[in-house]
């Protein structure tokens, strides 16, 4: 059975086709899910704790391919939050065990659509990547609209924001997804991008309204 490329969800480590799930897989998946939630909500210390425990559980197996995917998960969350990628550990593993699916996803996260082998990506990103390669903002937004995973929506949006290839509707969707899931850090991140976007476009009233909203939401 071909493994499903995992992306920060309870199935991230469980997609291995086995009826009996080892403790390290179940605990690793739980901790990685906790990392995702804490990071997107802005609970930095808790996110670090969850991530370290997830790494420790996966290391018990000696499965470097899965460990690489755990580190890619952190990179994916960082991309969704418009943060620099902490990719040192992933690159160390990739140097020992190159894996095409992992490398394709990493290349996408690094913001290099032209260098991605699209067929190696998880299916939900393939249409998005094709539209991004064409530098077609309307099509990329349409592809994001079809994504059924909220984190994937933020990852794709984050990549477009960093590349300066997005539309106002793309930001609106990221704000809506963040709000719906209670991801406060992500919400403030994309509200901040929205405020700057409307400021540049000359809509000062909307920009000021968003600024006031962010002030009310901050602790």
CA distance readout (Å), 10 to 7, 13, 57, 125: 9, 7, 14, 19
Q: CA gyration radius for the chain? A: 18
> Which residue matches tokens 């425990």?
53
Residue 192, classed as helix, strand or coil, is: helix
pLDDT of amino acid 20: 72
More confident position, 9 or 94: 94
Output phi, psi for 42, to 5 deg.
95, 20
Q: How confident is the model at residue 12 (pLDDT cuts 50, 70, 90)?
A: very low
* Whether the predicted pLDDT of 23 surpasses 90: no
Q: What is the mean pLDDT of residues 86-114?
A: 96
Judged by phi (left if over 0) then psi (alpha if -120 to 50, else beta), residue 100 lies in alpha
pLDDT of amino acid 21: 76
Q: What is the mean pLDDT of residues 52-70?
A: 96
Share of the chain above pLDDT 70, in %: 91
Q: What is the mean pLDDT of residues 2-13?
A: 39
pLDDT of amino acid 17: 44
pLDDT of amino acid 11: 36
pLDDT of amino acid 8: 40
pLDDT tens per residue across span 32-47: 999 999 999 999 999 9
**How is residue 147 written in tokens?**
């994504």
pLDDT tens per residue across span 147-190: 999 999 999 999 999 999 988 999 999 999 999 999 999 999 99
pLDDT of amino acid 19: 58
* Whether the predicted pLDDT of 48 surpasses 90: yes
């Amino acid at each position: 059975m071909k493994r499903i490329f995992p992306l920060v969800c309870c199935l991230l480590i469980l997609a291995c086709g086995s009826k009996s799930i080892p403790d390290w897989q179940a605990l690793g998946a739980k901790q990685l899910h906790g990392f995702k939630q804490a990071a997107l909500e802005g609970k930095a210390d808790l996110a670090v704790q969850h991530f370290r425990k997830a790494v420790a559980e996966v290391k018990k197996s000696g499965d470097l391919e899965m460990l690489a995917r755990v580190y890619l998960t952190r990179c994916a969350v960082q991309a969704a939050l418009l943060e620099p990628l902490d990719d040192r550990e992933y690159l160390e593993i990739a140097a020992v065990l190159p894996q095409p699916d992992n490398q394709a996803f990493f290349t996408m996260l690094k913001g290099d659509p032209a260098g991605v082998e699209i067929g190696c990506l998880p299916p939900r990103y393939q249409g998005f990547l094709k539209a991004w390669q064409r530098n077609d903002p309307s099509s990329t937004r349409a592809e994001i609209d079809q994504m059924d995973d909220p984190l994937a929506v933020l990852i794709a949006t984050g990549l477009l924001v960093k590349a300066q290839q997005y539309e106002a509707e793309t930001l609106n969707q990221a704000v809506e997804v963040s709000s719906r899931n209670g991801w406060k850090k992500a919400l403030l991140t994309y509200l901040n991008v929205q405020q700057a976007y409307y400021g540049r476009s000359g809509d000062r009233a909307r920009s000021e309204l968003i600024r006031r909203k962010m002030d009310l939401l901050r602790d």
